[in-house]
Amino acid sequence: MPDFAYIARDGGGRRVSGRTEAASEAAVLAELAARGLAPIRVRPANAARRGGRIGTRALAGSYRQLSELLRAGVPLLRALRLLARARSHPALAAAWGEVADRLAAGERLADAMEGRNGVFAPVHIAMVRAGERGAFLEPVLARLASLLEQQADLRGKVLGNLLYPVLLLLVGFGIVVAALVFFVPKFEEYFMKMPELPFATRILLGTSALVTEHAWLMGGLAVAALVGVVAAARSPRVRVAVVRRLMRVPVLGPLFSSIAVARFARMLGTLLENGIPMLQALGIARDSAGNPVLATAVDAAAEAVRHGEPLSRPLAESGLFPEEVVEMISVGESANNLPSVLVRLADTLESRIDRMLATLLRLMEPAMLLLIAAVVLFIFLALVVPMMQLSSQL
């Protein structure tokens, strides 16, 4: 039986806390009432750990493990109990334990997972529900695990390729700030003897004074800018406008578009392969793409499909899908093998994304090195030129 943690008050009004084993929360309440305690809060003992973040790979591993247990003939409830006893991911184990309890109470697996929306995404629940109805739950779980692993791989590739340029930018920024704070102020007293300083030197000294003497103002402006960016990012209209502009940037625009289209194609193909109806699959794949501009195009495509039109036509009219992508989707619809075409298309696009990321990385490294070198050269010249002028006057 699961453990429950409770907080209650006794007859004297004193606060009492503890743990107890019971079949359900109602049984805990009945036990507390029998002991003369007034419950304040009752929750599963591991609820405090449920709020921990569950990684994509950990969730994928649990789906694959559940699929393998079912393939080996282990009953579903017993397999869920095994997952709930895992110690490597307590939050995930707690979620599976709650699912097992609800399954034991007579609910279907998809309905039991739906009660843990913070763990199981709607696409997972939809695929599991289709597998239950079609009596092919085990392969659905295996495909779901593969889907999550591929998503994690794609995210890891993007972040891994961008890690070095971001680190290089941070190091360069730190070097410039250190020069403005510790190096530039030491030359200020020498420049006070000069009647007039070069424009670049005045800019450098003003920037150094701003960083050193008004650090609180700079910090406040940075915090205000961060708050403004976060607030703007929550506005759908601002997000759409920003994404539209980013998609027009050379190199970056095609990369963002390819990532969104690849995620959409893989999700839609996986859902259709597992028996999800087209309109429902489009709605789920729309949300998984992570691109508001693409989401608008998918909404228009779903409306067209609802009226009997093929999927490829509205996608082509959106202008977001390359011609070869639209052509493959059209051929898949004609040949009645759209799900497999979409999955193969996602594989092709992800290979293209790898090449684009490699090209972008090759361009960013020298660009950032040149930028850092230009800033350092500017600081050097802004300090050396007036010193040369001062020495010539002497």
pLDDT the model gives residue 48: 39
How many other CB atoms are there within 10 angstroms of residue 302's CB atom?
Answer: 19
Q: Is 139 helix (H, G, I), strand (E, B) or coil?
A: helix
Distance CA 329, CA 286 (A): 16
Here the tokens at position 336 are: 């009645």
Here the tokens at position 41 are: 């809060």
* Burial class of residue 278 in the structure, from the number of CB atoms within 10 Å of its CB (0-12 exposed, 13-18 middle, 19+ buried): middle
Average pLDDT across the chain, whole number: 81
pLDDT in tens, 77-95: 999 998 888 777 888 888 8
Q: Is the pLDDT of residue 121 over 50?
A: yes
Under a CB-based contact definition with an 8 Å cutoff, are residues 175 and 376 in contact?
yes
pLDDT in tens, 36-68: 777 766 666 554 344 456 788 888 999 999 999
Residue matched to tokens 């006893």: 85
Return the H-helix or E-strand segment holding 342: helix 338-393
Distance CA 368, CA 32 (A): 65
Q: Where are the beta strands (DSSP E) in the chain?
A: 3-9, 15-21, 38-44
pLDDT the model gives residue 214: 77
Write the CB contacts of 299 (distance below 8 Å, at least 6 apart in sequence). Answer: 286
pLDDT the model gives residue 51: 46
Residue 106, sorted as left (phi over 0), alpha (psi -120 to 50) or beta, turns out to be left
pLDDT the model gives residue 65: 92
Write the CB contacts of 223 (distance below 8 Å, at least 6 apart in sequence). Answer: none
